[in-house]
Amino acid sequence: MGQYVVIGLGRFGESVARTLESLGHEVLAIDKSEEKVQKIADFVTTAIKGDAQNEEVLRSVDIASYDAVVVAMAQSVEANILVNMLLKELGVKYIVAKAQSTLHGKVLEKIGVDKIIYPEWDMGERVARALTLSHNILDYVEISPEHTIVEISAPEEFVGKSLKELDLRARHNVSILAAKKGDTVVVVPGGEYVIDQGDILVAIGSYRDLKKVEK
């Protein structure tokens, strides 16, 4: 279980905080708005009202002891940059920051932010790629520039065939990481696994190879 801080509780920050907590991690949420703090209080480990631009606020929560800090502030680029600078000075191990523009991102990069997020752009790319892969795609995660994991409804042509018969790894360089049949989940199913109508498959491969599987 990890320990994380989310600074800024707009839609993006709130979503990150809630998701981390739902995955079983400890989450400290910080925002200047009492209303936003109260809204999320029941969904995270700790929620406090505070101005993260104030170094004493960050020191008071022992910010450097957390595994990572997500800076999701959106009210001003200047405030966002200042907070990231303070986090670096205080020795935070890993910083993820939301950027509003490429220039903002470049500044954060110079400061030493570990990962820069462009929420609207990233979501747009995610949706576009999922749409062009197939209408069967249920979810999509890019784990590197070369590899993608997709959750997909089993194509009609897969039904009634075993993974050995389909031989996806040899034919398309795509591997099946898991399969869900009803309420049963099979992790790394063997070649004897037969796909039924309605099965959900979790596959990994390159964007190009995954497209080939859908043709």
Q: What is the mean pLDDT of each run of 10 residues along the chain (215 residues)?
A: 91 88 90 95 96 96 95 87 96 91 91 85 58 59 70 88 92 90 89 93 85 68
Q: Which two tokens stand for residue 193?
A: 């696994």
Residue 184: φ, ψ to 5°:
-100, 130
Structure confidence at residue 119 (pLDDT) = 75
Contact 199, 193 (CB under 8 A): no
Structure confidence at residue 145 (pLDDT) = 61
DSSP 92: -
At position 55, the amino acid (one-letter code) is E
Structure confidence at residue 127 (pLDDT) = 54
Structure confidence at residue 137 (pLDDT) = 59
Which domains are present in the chain? 3-117 (3.40.50.720), 122-214 (3.30.70.1450)
Question: Which of 21, 39, 22 lies closest to 31, judged by CA?
Answer: 39
Q: Count the Cβ atoms, other than its own, within 10 Å of residue 57.
A: 18
Q: Which two tokens stand for residue 206?
A: 């390159």
Is the full-model pTM beyond 0.85? no
Structure confidence at residue 121 (pLDDT) = 64
